[in-house]
Chains A and B, each alone.
Chain A
Amino acid sequence: MLKYLIELLKGFFLEFKGAKARNVDLEVEKPQLLKREINWNVHVLESSVKARVLDLKDEKGQPVVREGCFRLKVETSTLTPPPVSPNAKDKPPLLEFPEVFQQVAIVEPSLRKVTALETRILSNPSLLPLWRKKVKREARVEREKIERALRVLQEMIEKEELKGVTFSGYFKNVPNGTIKIAGNDLIVDIDGKNPEFRSLMVFRAFTKDGKTKNVLIFLD
């Protein structure tokens, strides 16, 4: 009976005090250190674009094609990485760093006009072709002038014993200079800038030895 009571009391003690613990071993895991390497690569992007620009009208009102080079340069500024978040494991730092770039765009247009219709004006009033004047034969001749010319011609025929004479033409306003006969016209290389002008009658004379020559008779 006593033995029964002792066991009963032991049961009560256990109920109220609990089991007596003498030795507790705690096993704690070491904290994991997050190691992240952040590479801040700074890029400078530079590119150029060649452009041809067509102006329908420039200041002179003519279409012009210009060729130029537009350069675009993008530079990054100094970047300061943010402190690594305690929750870095859950949130990668790049997502928490919204400020990425400062951009500087440099446009350097170097335009070049490649097509413009222009001309230079030059001056030269002494060019030989300008001083070579063609004088046309007149359609009508005044009677008085014919008579004067015939008198001169008569003297010539007697003096030089000409076989025959034909009339070539009458020319007015013939300037001083070297005269050539070209068909019905005279070609005169004008002498000097202030030449004298005269009227001229031209005959073709045939000599006794079978030759021909032009006879020029100035009338003024």
Chain B
Amino acid sequence: MIGYLAVEKLNNKFVGGLLVVDERGIPQEFKYTEPIVPNELQRILYGKSLDYFLKTEIIAATLVKKIEKPVDFIFTKDLELLEIDQRVFYLSERREEISEVRKISEEEYLVPYREGALRIVGKVLPDKLRKLSEMLEEGLDIFEPFERLEKALEYVCSST
């Protein structure tokens, strides 16, 4: 199973969500936070660290702690969330076409994906990387669940 983690700032409300889908993209678990609106005093106290602290410590870390399903990966498109848990990996797309998995650095990999490559940042175990490659070959649209997650967070924010 794959987890997708996102924290958004929508209309000055901070909201985060964690969507777990199976290999076919069917939702298995969805946890989200109540939107947070920091008050003026909190803005003064936290200063420039407010956004970072809210995103990482308060929202993302809490969501990951509450996850129930066993996940192989938790993907995020936000590099700042990488530090909260070892299961969290940063995901981005590269146009560079490769034929096999390539290790760029200690915690950075390129995996063949469609006409380009997938860049994964984080400590990935070799067997997990192999499993991911297989799922991608079978046609997994790895970025698509992010869109559903973002739409779900917009829905949550608009309905509260």
Instruction: List residues of A whose CB falls within 8 A of some B CB.
Output: 54, 61-63, 65, 114-115, 117-125, 127-136, 138-139, 172-173, 175, 190, 193-195, 197
Chain A residues whose CB sits within 8 angstroms of the CB of B148 once the complex forms = 129-130, 132-134
A120–B16 alpha-carbon span in the complex (Å): 11
A128-B155, A130-B27, A134-B144 given. 15 additional CB < 8 A pairs?
A114-B41, A115-B42, A117-B42, A119-B59, A123-B29, A123-B30, A129-B151, A130-B30, A130-B152, A131-B27, A133-B144, A134-B148, A173-B24, A173-B25, A173-B139
B54 touching A117 by the CB < 8 A rule? Answer: yes
Chain A residues whose CB sits within 8 angstroms of the CB of B31 once the complex forms = 121-123
B42 touching A127 by the CB < 8 A rule? Answer: no
A122 touching B33 by the CB < 8 A rule? Answer: yes
A193–B21 alpha-carbon span in the complex (Å): 11
Q: Is B12 an interface residue (CB 8 A)?
A: no
Interface residue count for B (Cβ, 8 Å)? 41
A125 touching B45 by the CB < 8 A rule? Answer: no
Q: Is B34 an interface residue (CB 8 A)?
A: yes
A117 touching B66 by the CB < 8 A rule? Answer: no
Q: Is B120 an interface residue (CB 8 A)?
A: no
Beta-carbon contacts under 8 Å, B27-85 to A: 27-34, 36, 38-39, 41-42, 45-46, 53-54, 57-59, 62-63, 66
Q: Is B26 an interface residue (CB 8 A)?
A: yes
